[in-house]
């Protein structure tokens, strides 16, 4: 499924970016191999996106560490990289849930600047909070 998503994203982005996928553990290609595949394809600015719903140890610690190690394996190349936040809370995910559930979208667009955490805490959504939550 991850390969399918990478192919879909590549199709959407076209030639503006190189899209490759990698697994953190238990499957190939590894993050090191995915990073190397991007470099081999000519990428010099690599964005690693943890394909996970919520932030946790893997997306906030393990993946950034593995990406940094992969970058260090290319010392002669002028490559920049960053690791994004996990999906988090986003109105497009709510639309997808409604679509998969067979429900119609509620009338009116979701407020893209609202914090959707029921208790109002902006920390629960992390960097994805549209109201500006997270640590940045």
End-to-end alpha carbon distance in the chain: 30
SS3 39: helix
% of the chain with per-residue pLDDT over 70: 76
Query: What pLDDT does 99 receive?
Result: 85
Q: Given this model, what pLDDT does residue 64 score?
A: 98
Average pLDDT on 81-110 reads: 82
Compute the mean pLDDT over every residue in the chain, rounded to the nearest whole number.
85
Res 136: pLDDT: 39
Mean pLDDT of 57-84: 95
pLDDT for the residue numbered 72: 96
């Amino acid at each position: 499924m991850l390969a399918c998503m990478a192919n879909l994203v590549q199709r959407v982005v076209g030639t503006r970016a190189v899209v490759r996928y990698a697994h953190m553990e238990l499957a190939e290609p590894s993050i090191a191999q995915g990073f190397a595949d991007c470099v081999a394809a000519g990428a010099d600015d690599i964005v690693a996106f943890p394909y996970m719903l919520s932030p946790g140890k893997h997306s906030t610690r393990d993946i950034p560490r593995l990406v940094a190690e992969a970058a260090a394996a290319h010392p002669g190349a002028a490559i920049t990289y960053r690791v994004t936040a996990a999906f988090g809370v986003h109105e497009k995910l709510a639309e997808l849930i409604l679509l998969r559930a067979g429900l119609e979208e509620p009338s009116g667009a979701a407020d893209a600047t609202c914090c959707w955490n029921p208790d109002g805490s902006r920390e629960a959504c992390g960097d994805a909070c549209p109201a500006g939550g997270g640590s940045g």
